[in-house]
Structure 1
Amino acid sequence: MPTLIRFMLHHLAVGFAIGAVAAIVLLTIQPSRLVNASELWWLAVCLYVFSLGASFALGSLATALMMDTDS
């Protein structure tokens, strides 16, 4: 696998994992975020975890690319 692809996948996966854990912690601390979710509460949880995970993943990748210097 090319080095750049491995670099990107590593930082995206680590960032997504951190964001997903943060979303789950936020939902366990304050479960009132899902008050009116009714029978689709699992979809709301999945979307919340995905949205926070994706944001953290792109932030992690951007930070890693910015800080990677080969000079």
Structure 2
Amino acid sequence: DALELTVDGDRCRRDSEPAIDCTELCAGLASEPKTRKVLVQGTLGTHAAVDALRKCLGTHGFRDVVVRSE
């Protein structure tokens, strides 16, 4: 079961939770199993926010990250 994250502007949200700062959201995922796939919906996000989230996820050990930007 994949983690689904959405980037909206420069903020991020998980599922239907309220949007928060992307680095805060990323840090909050530290307890999740690193083997989980992460789907990032980046269509409405800024390029910088999507890129920062992707890098942060990698730093936290998530290797299976798919970014959708269309």
TM-score tier by shorter-chain length is under 0.3
TM-score, structure 1 normalization: 0.28
- Give the helix-richer structure, 1 or 2: 1
Larger Rg: 1
Greater strand content: 2
Normalization by structure 2: what TM-score?
A: 0.28
Higher relative contact order (CA closer than 8 Å, sequence separation 6+) = 1
